[in-house]
Amino acid sequence: MTTGPVVLDVDGLRMRYGSSDVLRDVTFQARHGEVLALLGPNGAGKTTTIEILEGFRMRSAGRAEVLGVDPARGDERWRARLGVVLQSWRDHGKWRVRELLAHLGTYYASYATGRIRRPWDAGELIDAVGLTGQADKKIRTLSGGQRRRLDVAIGLVGRPELLFLDEPTAAFDPQARREFHDLVRDVVSRDETTVLLTTHDLDEAEKLADRIVVLDGGRIVADGTAGELARRIAGEDEVRWTRDGQRHTHRTADSTRFARELFDRHGDEIRELEIRRASLEQTYLTLVHHAEGASR
């Protein structure tokens, strides 16, 4: 668990469009270096939340602090500490990859600090996001996946302390998705960047996020690690093993301890040990289903 300072602090956030509340009493925190995933069905309020925290939308009520600043009052210096990867934009087709990143980087130079060298050198950044072969290509000639890597590079060029990723891998093929996950993990571990991402991909949330916040109908219905959420709903893991040619199955809330005791007692006689945790998908569907039932 991350114990660094709080980077994102949201308390009682509310957003109202006309007479309908699309965010109600949303409260969560993220700490320095933490990757937080916002999960939820269509219309749950993920993009609205992220846009409020980026300073692009005014909230109706509640408190929000992003890197110690109210996003409604964030200035240029504050903005330079954030990285934003939007759901894809298609301008700049005539620019070459290296040119665009070098150009955008100049904006951040005056916000460098003793600790954070800004901007990220265009060549190094291009290598880091896996676009070395496309560095001198025009942006309009990039494939969809390469274009998305460029979007990520644009979000990273100022070496952000906090990175917002809104559905970063929508439309990625499995290989591009895997590479993107490696990239995010690299950036997070190298620069201790805090990340808030929205996704519909449960597998992605489980792989990337230290913590998952599930939004449904504008409310938080769960907040915890993938394991905690699964245990809260499913309660118990399933342990399976074979001994003397016989299959055994046991349900327990502490499968690690159970497995240790099993080996202490029977040693090498234990074969084909399997521990099945409730999948995040099952947990998620249960959570969202419960929340929908409750609001009816």
Ligand X SMILES: Nc1ncnc2c1ncn2[C@@H]1O[C@H](COP(=O)(O)OP(=O)(O)OP(=O)(O)O)[C@@H](O)[C@H]1O
By CB under 6 A, tell whether 48 contacts ligand X.
yes
Name residue 46's amino acid: K
Of 13, 26, 31, 45, the residue at the interface with ligand X (CB under 6 A) is 45
**Cβ density class 243-258: b for 16+ within 10 Å, e for less:** eeeeeeeeebeebeeb
The count of residues interacting with ligand X (CB under 6 A) is 10
By CB under 6 A, tell whether 46 contacts ligand X.
yes
Closest CB to ligand X among residues 97, 214 = 214
Closest CB to ligand X among residues 83, 218 = 218
The contact pattern for ligand X, residues 68-87, with x = CB under 6 A and - = no contact, is --------------------
By CB under 6 A, tell whether 40 contacts ligand X.
yes
By CB under 6 A, tell whether 88 contacts ligand X.
no
Q: Which of residues 232-251 bind ligand X (CB under 6 A)?
A: none
Closest CB to ligand X among residues 112, 170 = 170
By CB under 6 A, tell whether 17 contacts ligand X.
yes
Closest CB to ligand X among residues 187, 202 = 202
Stretch that binds ligand X, among 36-44, 109-117, 140-148, 255-263 (CB under 6 A): 36-44
Least distance CB 221 / ligand X (angstroms): 13
Would you list the DSSP string of the chain? Answer: ---S-EEEEEEEEEEEETTEEEEEEEEEEEETT-EEEEE-STTSSHHHHHHHHHTSS--SEEEEEETTB-GGG--HHHHTTEEEE-S-----TTSBHHHHHHHHHHTTGGG--SSS-SS--HHHHHHHTT-GGGTTSBGGGS-HHHHHHHHHHHHHTT--SEEEEESTTTT--HHHHHHHHHHHHHHHHHH--EEEEEES-HHHHHHH-SEEEEEETTEEEEEE-HHHHHHHHH--EEEEEEETTEEEEEEES-HHHHHHHHHHHHGGG-EEEEEEPPPHHHHHHHHHHHHHHHH-
Closest CB to ligand X among residues 161, 216 = 216
Least distance CB 285 / ligand X (angstroms): 16
Of 6, 9, 22, 29, the residue at the interface with ligand X (CB under 6 A) is 22
By CB under 6 A, tell whether 42 contacts ligand X.
yes
Closest CB to ligand X among residues 153, 202 = 202
Of 47, 88, 282, 286, the residue at the interface with ligand X (CB under 6 A) is 47
Instruction: Look at the block and give the residue holding tokens 């597998």.
Output: 203
Least distance CB 167 / ligand X (angstroms): 7
CA distances, 137 to each of 38, 93, 124, 140, 270 (Å): 34, 10, 16, 8, 57
Closest CB to ligand X among residues 187, 215 = 215
Least distance CB 217 / ligand X (angstroms): 9
Instruction: Name the residues that contact ligand X, by CB under 6 A.
Output: 17, 22, 40, 42-48
